[in-house]
Structure 1
Amino acid sequence: MKHNIEVKYPAIFRDEGTYWGVRFPDVPDAQTFGNSVQAAADNAANALAVTLFDQEPPRASDPRFWKLASTEFVVWITMAEPQFGAGTTTPASSN
Structure 2
Amino acid sequence: MNQQMDIKYPGIFRDEGTYWGVRFPDVPAAQTFGASVQKAADNAANALAVALFEQPIPPASDPQYWRLASNEFVVWITMSNATFGPGDTAPTPMH
TM-score by length of 1: 0.86
Q: Show structure 1 runs of 5+ residues with no match.
A: none
Structure 1 equivalent of residue 8 of structure 2 = 8
Alpha-carbon shift at residue 63 of structure 1 (Å): 0.3
Structure 2 equivalent of residue 60 of structure 1 = 60
Structure 1 equivalent of residue 75 of structure 2 = 75
Higher strand share: 2
Which structure 1 residue ranges, 4+ long, deviate > 6 Å from structure 2?
A: none
Structure 1 equivalent of residue 20 of structure 2 = 20
The alignment of Structure 1 onto Structure 2 pairs a total of residues equal to 90
Residue 47 in structure 1 maps to residue 47 in structure 2: yes
Q: Distance in 1 between matches of 2:7 and 2:93?
A: 12
Q: Distance in 1 between matches of 2:34 and 2:17?
A: 11
Q: Distance in 2 between matches of 1:78 and 1:16?
A: 23
Task: Please tell me the residue identity of whatever aligns with 1:91.
Answer: T
Q: Show structure 2 runs of 5+ residues with no match.
A: none
Identity of aligned residues (%): 66
Secondary structure of 1:51's partner?
helix
Contact 1:23–1:30 under 8 Å retained in 2: yes
Aligned CA RMSD, in angstroms, stands at 1.7
